[in-house]
Amino acid sequence: MGNCKVFTNSVSDLPSCYAQQYNIGIVPDIVIVKGKEYFCTIDIDPPAMYGMMREMEELPGTSHPNEYIYTDCFRTAQAYDEILCITVTSIMSGSYSTASAAARTLAEEGFGPRIHVYDSAQVSCGQTLMVLEAAKMAGEGKSAQEIIRHLDLIKNKVKVYFVMRSLKNAKKGGRVGEIKCLAADLLGIHPILAFREGTIKEARLMHSFGKAVLHLRQYYRKSARRGGKVLIYHADNEPDAQRLKEQVLECDPQADVHVDWIGPAIGIYAGEGTIGIAFME
Global pTM value:
0.91
Give dist(CA 133, CA 183) in Å, integer. Answer: 40
pLDDT in tens, the chain (281 residues): 569 999 999 999 999 999 999 999 999 999 998 889 999 888 888 988 888 888 877 788 889 999 999 999 999 999 999 999 999 999 989 999 999 999 999 999 999 999 999 999 999 999 999 999 999 999 999 999 999 999 999 999 999 999 988 766 555 545 444 434 444 554 567 788 888 888 888 777 888 888 889 999 999 999 999 999 999 999 999 999 999 999 999 999 999 999 999 998 888 888 889 999 999 99
Cβ–Cβ under 8 Å, residues 221 and 191: no
The helix or strand, by DSSP H or E, that contains position 161, with its residue range, turns out to be strand 158-163
- 54 and 176 share one domain: no
Helices (H) and strands (E) in the chain, counts: 11, 13
Quote the longest CA-to-CA distance of the chain: 59
Q: 209: helix, coil or strand? A: helix
- 188 and 237 share one domain: yes
- 16 and 137 share one domain: yes
- 212 and 230 share one domain: yes
- 174 and 128 share one domain: no
Range of the domain at 213: 157-280
- 22 and 105 share one domain: yes
- 114 and 208 share one domain: no
Give dist(CA 174, CA 177) in Å, integer. Answer: 7
- 133 and 46 share one domain: yes
Beta strands in 95-139 (DSSP E): 114-119
- 163 and 181 share one domain: yes
CATH of the domain at 95: 3.40.50.10170
Which are the contacts of 83, defined by CB distance < 8 A and separation ≥ 6?
4, 5, 6, 7, 74, 77, 103, 113, 114, 115, 116, 144
How many C-beta neighbours within 10 Å does residue 92 have? 16
- 163 and 149 share one domain: no
CATH of the domain at 195: 3.30.1180.10
- According to DSSP, residue 52 is labeled H
Structural domain count of the chain: 2
